[in-house]
Amino acid sequence: MLDTQVPDFTLPATGGTAFRLTEQEGKIVVIYFYPKDSTPGCTTEGQNFRDLHEQFAAAGAVILGISRDSLKAHENFKSKQSFPFQLGSDADEAVCTLFGVIKDKMMYGKLCRGIERSTFVIDRAGVLRREWRGVKVAGHAQEVLDFVNTL
């Protein structure tokens, strides 16, 4: 998928909106997939993107966080953490499947199916330029910002 056009998709998002990829043309799009709202790693990851949001915006980038959580859970999470970007609800896993982030993983010693923490950067022309899979949260948002600044 790297260096190819990302197919258009639309997701229900926070603030009563819908996020549509084709409406972002001319902007760099940072999409980060995370397992679950209001869990420790996901909260820290979102806070890191939040804290660097102005720098992402200055570079011409928009950020979208995606998980399978409901819009209600997203609204609470976004409000509590003061996220300045949208969270998209992918309850049917269509966008997760498009990016191949649904994996079998171990949680508390049990095998379960869920989102592998992953981030994708799409350039101004809608082409996928970089992906990170199996993300470790520490330092990740800064690494993504450093890459966005090269585009």
By annotation, the residues acting in catalysis are 42
Dihedral in degrees, nearest 10, Cα atoms 132, 66, 82, 24: 90
Q: Are strands 61-67 and 86-89 parallel, antiparallel or unpaired?
A: parallel
CA dist 122 and 63 (Å) reads: 11
Question: What is the Cα–Cα distance from 46 to 76, expressed in whole angstroms?
Answer: 13
- Of the candidates 31, 33, 32, 35, the one whose C-alpha atom is nearest the C-alpha of residue 114 is 35
- Of 134, 136, 144, 111, nearest to 41 by C-alpha is 136
Sign of CA dihedral 44, 47, 52, 56: positive
